[in-house]
Amino acid sequence: MKVELNGSVVELDPGASVRDAALTLATDPSGRGVAVAVDGEVVPRSEIESTPLREGQRVEVVTAIQGGAV
């Protein structure tokens, strides 16, 4: 199935979880400083592994960067 991951379309196995998607970015989503949203809704840390993705969903994986603008 295809999902949109941080703006790019990626192919994942059917039934892939939010965690699986993040791992394609070489990112452990349960690591400190990482958070995930699916279709604009924040996925609680405890549900990242158990939340399945569906075709066409938008996944955002974010982390801390230097900033912002002061």
Partner 1 sequence: MSVEGEVAAADTVASEDGFELGGRRWRSRLIVGTGGFRSLEDLERALLASGAEIATVALRRIDPQAEGSLLAVIDRLGIFVLPNTAGCYTARDAVRTAQLAREAFETDWLKLEVIGDDRTLLPDAVELIAAAETLVEDGFKVLPYTNDDPVLAARLERIGCVAVMPLGSPIGSGSGIRNPYNVRLIVEQAGVPVILDAGIGTASDAALAMELGCDGVLLASAVSRAERPELMAGAMRDAVAAGRAARLAGRIPRRLHAEASSSDEGLAEL
Q: Which residues bind partner 1 (CB under 8 A)?
A: 6-7, 22, 25-27, 32-37, 40, 42-45, 60-70
| Residue type at position 68 | G
**50 versus 63: smaller Cβ distance to partner 1:** 63
Minimum Å gap between C-beta 31 and partner 1 is 9
Phi, psi of 13 (to 5 degrees): -65, 145
Minimum Å gap between C-beta 40 and partner 1 is 7
HSE, side-chain direction, 13 A CA sphere, residue 57: 22
Minimum Å gap between C-beta 13 and partner 1 is 20
d(Cα 42, Cα 35) in Å, to the nearest integer?
Answer: 8
